[in-house]
Amino acid sequence: MNTMTIGCALTTYNSNAYLEQQLETLVNQLRPFDEVIIVDDASTNDTVQRLNRFIADHQLENWKVFRHEQNQGFIQTFQDALFHSSSDLIFLCDHDDLWYPQKTKVMTEQFVLQPQLQVLACSFDLVDAKGEQIQDELMKNRANHNLIHRSVNPGQLNEMFVQDILRYNFAPGCTIALKKEIAQEYLDLIHQQAQMANQEENNILSLPHDWAISILGAVNGGLYYLDQPLMGYRQHEHNTLGMTRRHDYADRLKAAKLEAKQKQALAYIMDQKGSDQQKAQTQQVKDLYVKRANALENKNLFSLTWMLLTTWPQGMFLTFGLDLKTTLFSFVGR
């Protein structure tokens, strides 16, 4: 597949001053895109006009813009971008980051050299609103800004497994490239679930698209991480998803309920695609997160303490430690 076509699936919503900077980095890729699909999620500002102006100014005939009439949310919007994509290899893209010129070239070469790859994430640099790099501290036995909860081979291609991504997503979606076959597998699962009478508990659309895609890649033995920073992942006040932790009880409870729903969605995907061992692993994680959400809602300090102690060896002390801390503070009004 050394002649594979590559495309970009970009979504926008009320984009700010970072939009044109991101678009310029896409134009300046050393391996140019064969197509760029942009889906705007019913922006109420001038985002679509700016997109069309940029496309016209740069004479980008292979760039296409689609617009939602009503706001659908970022998961649905990326799903639609994947639906409209026809390239062999699809790069997921946000509207406010900075891609380094070699990103598409380096990642495409990995797919050519390693035919087993189905989903590949690269590393990234954290950058601030001005595009300047933010330093962060890498914890022991962690990788990719602590998103991967084990060590990896530095600077190399590393296979990722189902157990690596059941509890936490291991990479931002904007770092991911995937083969068209995986995109279609994801879209087929969503279509399949839409036909079900009772789909609320395991709704895949509660799970970020990139996480679901990574799970499918891992189940198929084709999920990999390239330990090379190929983009700047911008952190600012308008991020849909960033790199921050929640230190307020109400915020953690809301997040815990969502994470429990996400694990139920993971269990649904695994029931359709996974081995018996993978299904059992996922069921255990789902049960833990449902129990966690219930314990937080009921402010059950005993259950939260027990979960903290029993999950400590799994590297989840920060999650359950903050759960316990914020619950304790909620009793004293802090």
- The values of phi and psi at residue 286, to 5°, are -60, -45
Residue-level pLDDT at 241 = 44
Q: What per-residue confidence (pLDDT) applies to 3?
A: 83
- The reported pLDDT for the residue numbered 157 is 98
Q: What is the pLDDT of residue 245?
A: 59
Domains of the chain: 6-234 (3.90.550.10), 249-331 (no CATH)
pLDDT at site 238: 55
At 332, the pLDDT band (50, 70, 90 cuts) reads confident
Q: What is the mean pLDDT of the chain?
A: 92
Burial 265-290 (b: 16+ CB within 10 A, else e): bbbbbbeebbeeebbebbeebbebbb
For strands 223-234 and 157-159, give the pairing.
antiparallel
Helix ranges (DSSP H) in the chain: 19-27, 47-57, 74-84, 103-113, 180-194, 209-219, 249-273, 276-297, 301-311, 317-331
Whether pLDDT at 170 is above 70: yes
Q: Quote the pLDDT of residue 247.
A: 81
Please give the pLDDT value at position 312: 78
Distance CA(171)–CA(215), nearest Å, equals 12
Per-residue pLDDT tens for 86-145? 999 999 999 999 999 999 999 999 999 999 999 999 999 999 988 899 999 999 999 999
> Does the structure show a pLDDT above 70 at 257?
yes
Query: Span 252-271, mean pLDDT?
Result: 94
Decide if pLDDT at 242 tops 60.
no
- pLDDT, one tens digit per residue, over 50-92 is 999 999 999 999 999 999 999 999 999 999 999 999 999 999 9
Report pTM. Answer: 0.93
Confidence of residue 193 (pLDDT cuts 50, 70, 90): confident
Residue 314 pLDDT level (bands cut at 50, 70, 90) = confident
